[in-house]
Amino acid sequence: MWYIFIILIKLILSLIITIWATMFVRGRELTETEIWIILIVFLWLYSMGVI
């Protein structure tokens, strides 16, 4: 049970860092579409076991 909880926290933190880093590089807020694209790519990579 704890293992699932730790993986979930790791996934959420990585996602927040990814979105924040993208906003920082772009120098502006992300649009909702860009956030969805990042989310979908992130979940796809996670399901493939890359992250």
51 contacts 14 by C-beta, under 8 angstroms: yes
Rounded distance between C-alpha atoms, residue 31 and residue 24, angstroms = 13
Q: What is the pTM of this model?
A: 0.54
What pLDDT is recorded for position 2? 78
Q: Residue 45 contacts by C-beta under 8 Å, 6 or more apart in sequence? A: 51
Where exactly are the structural domains of the chain?
2-48
- Summarised one tens digit per residue, pLDDT across range 28-38 is 777 888 888 88
Quote the Cα angle for 32-13-51, to 5°: 95
- Summarised one tens digit per residue, pLDDT across range 1-51 is 777 888 888 888 888 888 888 878 877 777 888 888 888 888 887 777 765
DSSP of 22-35: HHHHHTSPPPHHHH
